[in-house]
């Protein structure tokens, strides 16, 4: 109860009653609002604590056992089926080396590409086995064609401790993604496939962060059919950096979001508005936000059906006292060859004087004023989460904004002690293009998974891992 004292001389008591009632109702509303915020925070912290309480390799015995490891070897291949970027393979080495040290027999399972449930020679994991063998300096056995064939099961059964076997692409089977042979959703088929995979090992280790947002046979279902389950070192590291950045950030906390569509990042923005001090919006999605505020965007990519939503998100940011930063100038052009990632010689490329883009021109990058404005925010931030480029960075002429912001993030990390987390394929490519990937605190290996984590969603592949005892 709250004590309210009044000077009652010469005061109408009916007015006193109304005043007292008003104060009490206001107090009740404040408590309800505080309780709602407290519940929201407790929910987020519960999710973080839940993820950090999952079994890790340190919690299970693997010595002398056959260990199935789900890895993400969905690597890019050129026309000659040569791997052009082995980052995802390298990321799994700590877990593999630990298991070798513990004298386990290692059976690696992964997907590559989108074969849609059919065998596609160009999506075989054979090139990965050769690459991994070179990185480890030891043989990596590979069984092609079918990951649950008699040959695969025999190879797994005969695998000795200290040996490594890589099975063929999981997605050659439609059951991996929960479908049957005719492409229909079929949970029973997925469970049967998961059971066959599990029959080859005694322990399952989840080390494919890039797939944990999928409820597939090799991510969520397989754990039901093995005795011991844990996360690998890669997944453990991802959860630590992403989880602590979101729920226990050192402030000021800045989120930088880019990419083409507002619709792809709605839930991310909604979730982050409850956590960050500032949000920087770049890429084509910025034009939808600008148009929602009555700014001319020329022929830039705009989601006209999302204008009201964009305006509402800006309103919410103001309400929550979150700085919502949009570009104040742009690099624009009247012509670009998106297919060949090329600027035609006849194209007219300009820098705008302010946030407005004239008719006949489209925005392709943030301008120098925006870079300067955004860099000041980056410099003073202590936690930085970045997902999505700020322009068409694949074209050199339009990569300056993305590259310079990457450099400022790296500077804030190395010189000022900021924690920086970069997620999403394009963002990762951007920091590599800027040559600062070694200066970022953590680069996530899971584009879709990191995005869904930022949205506050549960990740089926993580939920499936048992909690520590």
Residue positions annotated with a catalytic role: 88, 261, 425, 448
282 within 8 A of 355, measured Cβ to Cβ: no
Q: Measured between alpha carbons, how far is 1 from 27 in angstroms, rounded to an integer?
A: 10
User: Which residues does 102 contact at the CB level (< 8 Å), separation at least 6?
Assistant: 62, 63
User: Which residues does 68 contact at the CB level (< 8 Å), separation at least 6?
Assistant: 107, 109, 197, 198, 200, 201, 203, 204, 205, 222, 226
Residue among 150, 130, 134 at smallest CA distance from 142: 130
Q: Measured between alpha carbons, how far is 131 from 140 in angstroms, rounded to an integer?
A: 9
Q: Which residue has the tokens 């080396």?
A: 97
Q: Measured between alpha carbons, how far is 223 from 202 in angstroms, rounded to an integer?
A: 11
Q: Measured between alpha carbons, how far is 284 from 300 in angstroms, rounded to an integer?
A: 7
DSSP state for residue 219 in the 8-state scheme: I
* Residues in a beta bridge with 105: 66
By the 10 Å C-beta count (0-12 exposed, 13-18 middle, 19+ buried), 94 is classed as middle
């Amino acid at each position: 109860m709250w004590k309210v004292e009044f000077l009652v001389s010469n005061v109408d008591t009916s007015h006193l009653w109304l005043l007292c009632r008003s104060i009490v109702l206001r107090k009740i509303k404040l408590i309800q609002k505080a309780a709602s915020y407290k519940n929201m925070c407790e929910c987020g912290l519960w999710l973080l604590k839940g993820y950090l309480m999952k079994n890790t390799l340190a919690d299970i015995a693997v010595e002398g056992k056959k260990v199935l490891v789900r890895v993400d070897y969905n690597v890019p291949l050129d026309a000659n089926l040569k791997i052009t970027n082995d980052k995802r393979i390298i990321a799994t080495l700590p877990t593999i080396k630990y298991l070798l040290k513990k004298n386990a027999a290692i059976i690696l399972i992964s997907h590559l590409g989108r074969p849609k449930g059919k065998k596609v020679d160009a999506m075989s994991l054979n090139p990965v086995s050769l690459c991994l063998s070179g990185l480890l300096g030891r043989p990596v056995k590979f069984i092609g064609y079918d990951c649950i064939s008699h040959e695969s099961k025999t190879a797994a059964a005969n695998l000795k401790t200290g040996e490594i076997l890589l099975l063929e692409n999981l997605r050659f089977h439609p059951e991996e993604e929960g479908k049957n042979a005719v492409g229909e959703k079929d949970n029973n088929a997925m469970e049967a496939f998961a059971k066959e995979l599990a029959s080859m090992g005694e322990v399952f280790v989840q080390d494919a962060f890039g797939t944990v947002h999928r409820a597939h046979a090799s991510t969520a279902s397989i754990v039901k059919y093995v005795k011991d389950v844990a996360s690998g070192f890669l997944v453990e590291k991802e959860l630590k950096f992403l989880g602590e950045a979101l729920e226990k950030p050192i402030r000021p906390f800045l989120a930088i979001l880019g990419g083409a569509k507002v619709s792809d990042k709605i839930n991310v923005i909604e979730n982050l508005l409850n956590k960050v001090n500032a949000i920087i919006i770049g890429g084509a999605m910025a034009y939808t936000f600008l148009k929602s505020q009555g700014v001319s965007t020329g022929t830039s990519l705009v989601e006209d059906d999302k204008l009201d939503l964009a305006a509402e998100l800006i309103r919410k940011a103001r309400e929550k006292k979150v700085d919502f930063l949009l570009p104040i100038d742009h690099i624009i052009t009247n012509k670009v060859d998106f297919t060949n990632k090329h600027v035609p010689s006849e194209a007219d490329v300009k820098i705008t004087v302010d946030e407005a883009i004239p008719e006949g021109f489209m925005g392709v990058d943030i301008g120098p004023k925006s870079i300067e404005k955004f860099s000041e925010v980056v410099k003073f931030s202590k936690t930085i989460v970045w997902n999505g480029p700020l322009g068409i960075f694949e074209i050199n002429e339009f990569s300056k904004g993305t590259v310079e912001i990457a450099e400022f993030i790296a500077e804030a990390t190395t010189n000022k002690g900021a924690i920086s987390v970069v997620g999403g394929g394009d963002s990762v490519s951007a920091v590599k293009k800027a040559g600062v990937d070694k200066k970022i605190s953590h680069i996530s290996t899971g584009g879709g998974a990191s995005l869904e984590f930022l949205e506050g969603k549960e990740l089926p592949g993580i939920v499936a891992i048992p909690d520590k005892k």
